[in-house]
Amino acid sequence: VQLAESGGGVVQPGGSLRLSCKVSGINFSIYWMHWVRQAPGKGLVWVSHINSDGSTTGYADSVKGRFTISRDNAKNTLFLQMNSLRPEDTAVYYCALEKITVSSLDYWGQGTLLAVSS
């Protein structure tokens, strides 16, 4: 099982960016997926999740209304659309696949770095 994030970079405050997570080696379409972030030198923060068919999503309060999670099961890809970015969104963003039990993050990508700075 492999998860590979992409799309990170440097964005100005107020800007937008879309992260992608390509999943291989597993039947992507039947699993819930999550985004977790980690600011430099800080701990893990859960960001968002989406169910297998994309009909159910959830967000941390800190990103609600600004971030949108989605997926394309035909392309085995998870997305995170991030709008109205703030400096405090600066972090490594990981995608993770939930397999064993509710919200257990069994497989992780290597992470992609977002820096929000002017």
- Which residues sit at the interface with another protein, rule CB under 8 A? 34, 36, 43-46, 49, 58, 60-61, 94, 100-106, 108-111
Separation CA 19–CA 95 (nearest Å): 9
Minimum gap (Å) between residue 102 Cβ and another protein: 5
Minimum gap (Å) between residue 96 Cβ and another protein: 8
Minimum gap (Å) between residue 29 Cβ and another protein: 21
Nearer to another protein, 15 or 107 (CB): 107
Which of these, 1, 2, 32, 4, lies nearest to 19 by C-alpha position?
A: 4
Separation CA 55–CA 32 (nearest Å): 11
Nearer to another protein, 54 or 111 (CB): 111
Cα 112 off chain centre by: 9
Look up residue 22 and give its two tokens: 């390509």
Minimum gap (Å) between residue 81 Cβ and another protein: 20
Which of these, 55, 37, 54, lies nearest to 46 by C-alpha position?
A: 37
Nearer to another protein, 34 or 71 (CB): 34
